Amino acid sequence: MANQQRSQIIQDNPIGDRLDSFRASFDDLCADKGIPRTPDPLGQLDLEDVRDVAVALLFALQNLQAARLLPSSGRRKSLYFDLTNLGTAVGEDDFDFDRIKPLLNAVLANHAGNDALIWDRAYEAVIEATPPPRPIPSPLQQTPWLRNTGSFPNSAEHRKYIDDVLKEELGQLYVGLPDLYESYFGGVPNLETASKTFFERCLGGSSNPLFSDGGWRGWPEDANQKDTLRWLADFTKELAAFAKSHNSAPAYDRGLLAMPDEPITGSVAQRKMDVGFVDDNAGAAGKNSTKCHWSQILVPGELKSNPHADRPSEAWLDIGRYAREVFAAQDTRRFVLGFTLCGSLMRIWVFDRLGGIASERFDINKDGQRFVSTFLGFLWMTEEELGFDPTIMTTTAKGGQRFIEIDREGTTERLILDGPATRARCIAGRATTCWKAYREKDPDALFVVKDSWQYVERDEEGELLREATSKGAVHVARYYHHETVRVRNADDDVRNNVRKALDVTKAANYPQNPSRRPPSRGSVAGGGAKQSSHGSGASLPPSKRPRLTYSAEAGGGSGSDAALQNRVHRRVILCDWGIPIYKAGSREVLLAAMADCIEGHRSLRQKAGLLHRDISIGNLMIGKDNCGFLIDLDLAIKEQRLRASGAKGKTGTRAFMAIGALMGERHSFMHDLESFFWVLFWICIHMEGPGKGRVVDEFDQWNYAGTRMLTNIKIGEIADESKFVETAKEYFTPYHKPMVAERG
C-alpha cells in the first residue's frame, strides 16, 4: 500500500525539466575543470567539488513538490525533511559519498521517465546516510539559541511582546547588594562632605525643618505620582542650586526631568518615562521644552506609589525598559545607572551587558542623607562614572569629532568616528555597535569600528577575522586590527570592571541553596590579559529565541550560573565599509550581493575552516562596486572542533533561523544556507524599495513566537509549493513581486 502511494505521488508530480538547471551547473563545473562527460564524471572530481554538487542536488530535490508529499523513510513528516537531514550529513568530514553517488548518477543520466528511479535512489541515500542517532550534545557541547530584544527586524516593538522577551533577556535581577552604593558613588570627590552639609541645612534653621523625625516635609503620604513628581522637582532644584554654589562643584548643568505624560522621542514604539536626570544643556530639564530624546537621559527613574511594587513584574521591569531605550540611543554607554522609588522606598540600579543589579532598599524618609547623596551623586558624577566609554573621545575643536586611538604595529593611530552608529537595541547580550571611521590623516581610507561584549569563553572574533583574511577568504570583511578595550588600566569586562568586582552571591535574593554550582569561569585578569593584536603586515588586498535549555547568553539564568558568567568588551576594526543588503539599490544588485555572500560563506569554510552560524539581515553587506560580503564572526566556530565553545548560549535573529536549528539540531553549514533563503524571503516581504521598510503584523509575530510555534510556521510556509507561491503573491511588496516565479 505504501509503495502504491509513493508511485501515485511520483506519477502525479513529475519532475519534468526542474532538475535541468542542476545538470547545466554540473556541466559548467566539468567544463571549467576540463573534465569530459564520461560515464563516471563524479570520479574525476575532488571531494569538495562532490560535496558541493551533492548539496546543490539536495536543494533542487527539496524544491520539488513530490519531496514534500512523499512519506518519510523514518519518523519525519516527509521525504523533504529526510533530504534536509541528508544535507547536514553531507557536510560532515566522515560522510561516505558512495552513499549518494547512485542518486547523483541517476539524476545526471537524464533519461526520460526515470522519476521513479531518482526517488528510489533518494530513499536509499537518506536511509544509508542515517546512522544510529548520536548522543544529544550536553549544554557545553551544543549551545542553545535564545531571544533578546536586540534581534527584532521590522518590528513595531509592541510592549505586550517586548516585555516577555525583556524578562527573558534580563533573567535574574540581583537586588540588595550591600556595597553597590559605595562602589559607584564612593569615587565622586567631596560627595559625602557636601551631602552632609546640605542635609544639615535640611535639619535645622527653622521651626519647620525640611527634614525631621517624620521624614521630608511635604512628602505626599500616598506617594501619588503627580504630587511626588512636584516634590522631587522642587527638592532637586534646591539641591542643584546648592551643588552649583559649592566650592568643589563640577561644571555640570543637570536637572530632573519630570514629564511622565510626554513620550520621549527616539523609541521604535512610543515610550514614556516617569522621571530621570538629564543634561540641562541638552534642552530638556528646567526648560519650557516639552520634548526630550532618549539620547539626553543620563539616569532613568521609575516611581510607584505602592511600596509593594518593588518587585520583578512591576518597578524592576519598568526601569529595565527605560535602560534598554537609553542603551539603544547612546552608542558609547557601557552601563546605565537608574533608580526606583516605590512609595518612599528607594533602590539604585545598574544595568549592563549581563543584566541588572540593585542596591539595598532604603527609606528616604528615614535615611535622608543617603537620599541627598544619591541625588547629588547623579548631579556630580563624571560621564565615565555614569557609564559612558572613556576610550571614545572628542576633539577640542568647535563641533568636535569623536575618535579612538589604537596601537598598531608599534605606532598610535587615530580613527575618526564618522556619522551615527548602528547599535543593537538590547541590554544583556553582545550589544554590537558599529561606526564608520577613517584615519585622521587619510580620510579616503574607510574602516568599520565594531564594539561588542563577548563571553570570555568564546574565540575572539578578531582572531578569527585575521585568520580568514590571511588565508584569502573572499567576500568576507577584511581584518585590520583588534583589541580588548581597557578602562582604568584594566580589561573592560563586566564582573570586575563594570560591576567593580561586586559579589552578586551576596544579593538579598540570591538563591541560598542553588541546585548546582559550576566552577567560576570567565573572569579576566587585570594585569596579564592581552591588550591588543594587529595583523603583521596585513595589507589591504582586493571585504536575533526562546531558550531550549538554560542559557545565559542573553543575560538570563538563575542561581550560580548567572552569578558567575562574564563578558568582556572587544573592539574589532575592519577594512570594509558597506550598507546592509536590504538597502540594495535594485533587485539585481540585491541578488548579486546575495550570491556574493553565499560565495563568502563557502570561502570562509573552505579556506579558513570556519562556519558562520549567524546569517541574518544585518550580517550581509554591500560594499563598493555593489559587491556583497559577510560580516560578524562573533558566533563563528571551527568546523573541525568537536565540542562547542563552552559559552552558556548564543543569540541570533530568530526570523532567519533554519528550521533544523529551531528544532535543536547541531548547527551545520546547511542551516546557514537555509538562513540565506529566509533573509531573502524577509526582504521581499518587508522592503518596499531600496532602504524603505515596513512592518507586517503577521510576520512581526516571528520575533516573539515560541520555538515550536515558529518552527511550525516556517514549515507551513515551505512544505507546499503552491502555499509558498500564494504567500509570496499576497505579502511580497509590489517592488519584489517580479521575483515570484510562475511555475507551469
Final residue of a structural domain among 78, 100, 128: 128
Pairing of strands 275-279, 336-342: unpaired
User: Same structural domain for residues 572 and 651?
Assistant: yes
d(CA 610, CA 93) in angstroms, rounded, equals 14
User: Same structural domain for residues 465 and 527?
Assistant: yes
166 within 8 A of 555, measured Cβ to Cβ: no
User: Same structural domain for residues 228 and 295?
Assistant: yes
| Phi, psi dihedrals of residue 298, rounded to the nearest 5° | -90, -45
Query: Residue 318 maps to which CATH number?
Result: 3.90.1570
CA 369-374-377 angle, 5° bins = 120
Query: Residue 617 maps to which CATH number?
Result: 1.10.510
698-712: per-residue pLDDT in tens? 888 887 777 888 888
Residues 6+ apart with CB under 8 A from 96: none
- The reply to whether 606 falls in a domain is yes
Final residue of a structural domain among 334, 350, 380: 380
Residues 6+ apart with CB under 8 A from 196: 369
DSSP state of 522: -
User: Same structural domain for residues 440 and 534?
Assistant: yes
Pick 431 or 703 by higher pLDDT: 431
209-260: per-residue pLDDT in tens? 899 988 999 999 999 999 999 999 999 999 999 988 886 777 788 999 998 8
d(CA 264, CA 732) in angstroms, rounded, equals 33
Residue 570 has pLDDT above 90, yes or no: yes
Query: Between the CA atoms of 435, 441, 442 and 447, what dihedral angle is there, to the nearest 10 degrees?
Result: -20
Mean pLDDT, the chain, rounded, equals: 84
User: Same structural domain for residues 338 and 436?
Assistant: no
- The reply to whether 156 falls in a domain is no
User: Same structural domain for residues 104 and 207?
Assistant: no
d(CA 58, CA 594) in angstroms, rounded, equals 20
Final residue of a structural domain among 128, 158, 180: 128
Strand partners, 571: 451, 483
**DSSP codes joined into one string, 670-732:** HHHHHHHHHHHHHHHHHEEETTEE---HHHHGGGTS-HHHHHHHHHHHHSSHHHHHHHHHHHS
Global pTM? 0.76
Cell 503584523 -> residue? 697
Q: Per residue, what are the HEC states of 332-378?
A: CECCEEEEEEECCEEEEEEEECCEEEEECCEECCCCHHHHHHHHHHH
Q: What is the pLDDT of residue 152?
A: 55
Q: What is the pLDDT of residue 676?
A: 97
User: Same structural domain for residues 318 and 400?
Assistant: no
How many CB atoms are closer than 10 A to CB 491? 23
Write out the three cell numbers for 735.
Answer: 517592488
- The reply to whether 744 falls in a domain is no
Residues 6+ apart with CB under 8 A from 542: none
- The reply to whether 643 falls in a domain is yes
Residue 433 has pLDDT above 60, yes or no: yes
340-384: per-residue pLDDT in tens? 999 999 999 999 999 999 999 999 999 999 999 999 999 999 999
Give the chain's length: 744
Q: Taking Cα atoms as reference points, which of 501, 579, 270, 236 lies closest to residue 374? A: 236
- The reply to whether 164 falls in a domain is no
Residues 6+ apart with CB under 8 A from 349: 319, 323, 337, 338, 339, 340, 356, 357, 358, 359
Q: Taking Cα atoms as reference points, which of 170, 137, 150 lies closest to residue 319? A: 170
- The reply to whether 290 falls in a domain is yes
| Phi, psi dihedrals of residue 65, rounded to the nearest 5° | -60, -40
Task: Calculate the alpha carbon distances from 227 to 218, 219, 305 in Å.
Answer: 9, 8, 10
Q: What integer is the mean pLDDT of 411-438?
A: 91
- The reply to whether 388 falls in a domain is no
d(CA 554, CA 353) in angstroms, rounded, equals 8
Pick 247 or 263 by higher pLDDT: 263
What type of residue is 547? R
Q: What is the pLDDT of residue 109?
A: 84
- The reply to whether 631 falls in a domain is yes
User: Same structural domain for residues 283 and 426?
Assistant: no
User: Same structural domain for residues 529 and 591?
Assistant: yes
Q: What distance, in Å, lies between the first and last C-alpha atoms of the chain?
A: 30
Q: pLDDT confidence of 62, banded at 50, 70, 90?
A: confident
User: Same structural domain for residues 492 and 612?
Assistant: yes
Domain that holds residue 680: 393-739
Write out the three cell numbers for 552.
Answer: 545565559
User: Same structural domain for residues 581 and 694?
Assistant: yes
User: Same structural domain for residues 473 and 361?
Assistant: no
d(CA 711, CA 400) in angstroms, rounded, equals 50
Write out the three cell numbers for 123.
Answer: 530513499
d(CA 595, CA 612) in angstroms, rounded, equals 16
How many domains would you assign to the chain? 3
